[in-house]
Homo-oligomer: A and B are copies of this chain.
Amino acid sequence: MDAVIKIGGSLAEDPEQLKALCTKLSEFAKKYTITVVPGGGRFADVVRDFDKRFTLSSGISHRMAILGMDQFGLLLSQIIPNSCATYLLTDAKQLSEIGVVPVFLPSRLMFREDPLENSWNVTSDSIAAYVASRLHVAKVFLVTDVDGIFTKDPKKHADAALIERLSAEELLKLNKRTSVDRYLPKLLLEVSIDCYVVNGNHPERIEAILAGQQATCTLIVARTE
């Protein structure tokens, strides 16, 4: 498979832009084999809130948040033309090979294998990278509502600069919350998968990267060969 593409939940805050992106995804699937992994967005935010109020165990809140990804995945399966929601990696592989967009609902795989740390350091970013590793994909896209990883939060600081490329080791050493989760660089190194953090409001950037071209994004390099 060519790529796993995670659609960040924050993109759901603008329905028209998200629908435009989803239409593009179904076009990409005619040329490339892709699997979509949903983010958590507001479905996971509700879990965060209850986690604070009830002091839940990390295992329980982790599972609740993953169900939030399933919820957003069902939503995506409706608005991505020619898509199909599935719990199975084998289905995702087969669907992608016939030009359909599989939307992978991660709950059953993650509950069964429970391969990652149960904490808020692991969000849909790391889960997408894990799914990518299980599908033997070399590229994972984290599609969000900003252009990539910045030196500072671009929504708060006008002088924030886009980091166009960094290694997973460098990201690990930053040791701070960026637009991706904290566990991600560790996992990318383990599974040797490159990661593109890209703005979903510019689907042409995803298309360019799929075609091996340059585009505005942050590339996190983790492949060793």
Contact = CB atoms under 8 A, between A and B. Distances in A.
A79 B56 CA distance: 9
Interface string A81-103: 00000000000000000000000
Interface in A67-85: 67-68, 70-71, 74-75, 77-79
Nearest to A78: B60
A174 to B, nearest CB: 32
Contacts of A50: 12, 42, 75
A interface majority secondary structure: helix
A43 interface: yes
8 contacts: A12-B50, A43-B43, A43-B46, A46-B46, A46-B71, A54-B78, A60-B74, A67-B70
Interface of A: 12, 15, 42-43, 46-47, 50, 53-54, 56-57, 60, 63-64, 67-68, 70-71, 74-75, 77-79
